[in-house]
Amino acid sequence: MKVLIVYAHHEPRSFNAALLERSLAVLASEGHETKVSDLYAMGFNPVATGADFHERRFPERLQYDREQKHAVAHEAFSPDIAREIEKLVWCDMLILQFPLWWFSVPAILKGWLDRVLVSGVAYGNGRRYDTGGLKGRRAMVVTSTAAYATMCEPGGLVGELDVVLWPLQNGTLAYTGFEVLPPVVAYSVNFVDDATREGYVAGYEERLRRLATTRPLDFHALADFGPDWRLKPEVAPRAVGQMRSGVTL
Amino acid sequence: MKVLIVYAHHEPRSFNAALLERSLAVLASEGHETKVSDLYAMGFNPVATGADFHERRFPERLQYDREQKHAVAHEAFSPDIAREIEKLVWCDMLILQFPLWWFSVPAILKGWLDRVLVSGVAYGNGRRYDTGGLKGRRAMVVTSTAAYATMCEPGGLVGELDVVLWPLQNGTLAYTGFEVLPPVVAYSVNFVDDATREGYVAGYEERLRRLATTRPLDFHALADFGPDWRLKPEVAPRAVGQMRSGVTL
């Protein structure tokens, strides 16, 4: 497989950096090709602006997603975005590796999603979920957190992991067509002993060896929804975001 | 009330910009004091690095949250962060206004959360949720999205709104002690007619007039959780993240 790792950590002497290094060794030994976008090392700019396009369809008022679509057709992306789109389209497998900050990705990685998953490539013209622009590819979240595992269980302090990761795993990765593999999480990474940390590394290695065969998470296909964009009455909700919670906002 | 609006939109001629302008007029007419952090206009840097501290406790290896804690005690934050913390502590009411990108905040706003909600002020030493560092304050999400309202209902294509916003409303705002008011959402804002858009503005104005009296969303208090950080057996789960979904990752 061709594996793209988008990596967002600020410290080369971190657990995450060690994990990245080991993952590259394992992927090589399994015969996979790899590319890494090390966002901090690249000084990646995460802020979406009009400067992201060297030609504009609507120069008077920035409509970011419409300019993305135009830029796809006219090769009008700034070089940093064009390079990342090239890697994205190249890969069969996308790994997002990052520390969980505020139960989401660090800003530098959010900016990669905002600027690189462009309309006209990743989605557009109704293509999303199993018809998304990046279908045929797999993706996986690899993250570390100060939270304990029990905090991310049903009834846990910060909520179920699949709720916490819903905007990323469903709203972003599944939305653009990826098959999303179960996430790899190193819990309370600053507070555990070396043996536990080694266990996290070993667990990740094992997951890397089964990239092609691991069963993806179950998100709904586009055909499961009716013209009102709600699940058809005959379809039982399977993913957490589509279940009725009983909570009224 | 003292109202801080953190605003993240790239285009001054947008619906969001018009909404911001109207909100400032309404807040003034209601006798509230306001400050705005217009992140794009400020050229706010969203990327957390070691340069965020002009003195380091651990210069050899960046541990971001531990340096935040140290910087609080030693006034060691870079000026851009120090200014934002000052506004944050000043306010009684925090409004985050942004377009929903990938079902989350734009990178520039994520970076504001990453860099400004610092350990030692917003949380730390076990202070979180109803004991969070910012308790006594209220917060509200104001957002626009291309998604239709029915897509964000239970069974909807992108999932329930309270699941989509869980990492932000529970994991960030409630976590740091805010009472979180129900979100204000302008759905499918690019596709609706002017009357509908005017309705969104009017609805927001009405919400702004009831800032002090609106009933906040119901998140669990810290005392609802046992020593394993799971809800005590006698506490019924009320918020979506703490409910058993039946989904296995």
Which chain A residues are closer than 8 Å to B151 by Cβ? 229
- Mean pLDDT, all residues of chain B: 95
Confirm if A92 and A1 have CB atoms less than 8 A apart.
yes
ipTM of this predicted complex? 0.97
Q: Is residue B202 part of a domain?
A: yes
Q: Using H for helix, E for strand and C for coil, what is the string for chain A?
A: CEEEEEECCCCCCCHHHHHHHHHHHHHHHCCCEEEEEEHHHHCCCCCCCHHHECCCCCCCCCCHHHHHHHHHHHCCECHHHHHHHHHHHHCCEEEEEEECECCECCHHHHHHHHHHCCECCCEECCECHHHCCCCCCEEEEEEECCCCHHHHCCCECCCCHHHHCHHHHHHHHHCCCCEECCCEEECCCCCCCHHHHHHHHHHHHHHHHCCCCCCCCCCCCHHHECCCCEECCCCCCCCHHHCCCCCCC
Q: Is residue A223 part of a domain?
A: no
Reported as a pLDDT band with limits 50, 70 and 90, residue B238 is: confident
Is A160's Cβ below 8 Å from some Cβ in B? yes
- Specify the pLDDT at position A239: 85
Is B159's Cβ below 8 Å from some Cβ in A? yes
Give the A window 138-157 contacts with B, CB below 8 Å.
146, 148, 150-151, 153-157
Is B59's Cβ below 8 Å from some Cβ in A? no
Q: Is residue B50 part of a domain?
A: yes
Q: Is residue B242 part of a domain?
A: no
Q: Is residue A23 part of a domain?
A: yes
Confirm if B138 and B181 have CB atoms less than 8 A apart.
yes
Report the alpha-carbon distance of residue B246 to residue B249 in Å, rounded: 10
pLDDT of residue B245 exceeding 70, the answer is: no
Give the A window 191-210 contacts with B, CB below 8 Å.
none
Q: Do B240 and A247 count as a contact with CB atoms less than 8 A apart?
A: yes
Is B37's Cβ below 8 Å from some Cβ in A? no
Q: Do B166 and A166 count as a contact with CB atoms less than 8 A apart?
A: yes
Domain extent at residue A145 = 2-216
Q: Do B162 and A249 count as a contact with CB atoms less than 8 A apart?
A: yes
Spell out the per-residue pLDDT of chain A, length 249, in tens: 999 999 999 999 999 999 999 999 999 999 999 999 999 999 999 999 999 999 999 999 999 999 999 999 999 999 999 999 999 999 999 999 999 999 999 999 999 999 999 999 999 999 999 999 999 999 999 999 999 999 998 889 999 999 999 999 999 999 999 999 999 999 999 899 999 999 999 999 999 999 999 999 999 999 999 999 999 999 988 888 887 554 433
CATH of the domain at B195: 3.40.50.360
Q: Is residue B128 part of a domain?
A: yes
- Specify the pLDDT at position A247: 43
Q: Coil, helix or strand for B240? A: helix
Q: In A155-187, which positions are buried (b, 16+ CB within 10 angstroms) versus exposed (e)?
A: bbbbbbbbbbbbbbbbbbbbbbbbbbbbbbbbb
Q: Is residue A240 part of a domain?
A: no
- Specify the pLDDT at position A106: 98
Please report which helix (H) or strand (E) contains residue B183, including its range: strand B179-186
Among B99, B82, B134, which residue's Cα sits nearest to residue B7? B99
pTM value?
A: 0.97
Please report which helix (H) or strand (E) contains residue B115, including its range: helix B107-116
Q: Do B11 and A61 count as a contact with CB atoms less than 8 A apart?
A: yes
Residue among B104, B151, B175 minimizing CB distance to A110: B104
Is A175's Cβ below 8 Å from some Cβ in B? yes
pLDDT digits (tens, 9 = 90+) for B89-143: 999 999 999 999 999 999 999 999 999 999 999 999 999 999 999 999 999 999 9
Among A157-166, B78-87, B93-102, B233-242, the range scoring the smallest mean pLDDT is B233-242
Q: Is residue B225 part of a domain?
A: no
- Specify the pLDDT at position B242: 82
- Specify the pLDDT at position A246: 46
Average pLDDT over residues B40-54: 98
Please report which helix (H) or strand (E) contains residue B142, including its range: strand B138-144
How many distinct structural domains can be found in chain B? 1
Q: Do A156 and B242 count as a contact with CB atoms less than 8 A apart?
A: yes
Interface test with B, best of A64, A100, A191, A229 (most B CBs within 10 A): A229
Number of H helices, E strands in chain B: 8, 5
Q: Work out the minimum CA distance from A222 to partner chain B, whole angstroms.
A: 8
- Specify the pLDDT at position A156: 93
pLDDT digits (tens, 9 = 90+) for B7-46: 999 999 999 999 999 999 999 999 999 999 999 999 999 9
pLDDT of residue B249 exceeding 70, the answer is: no
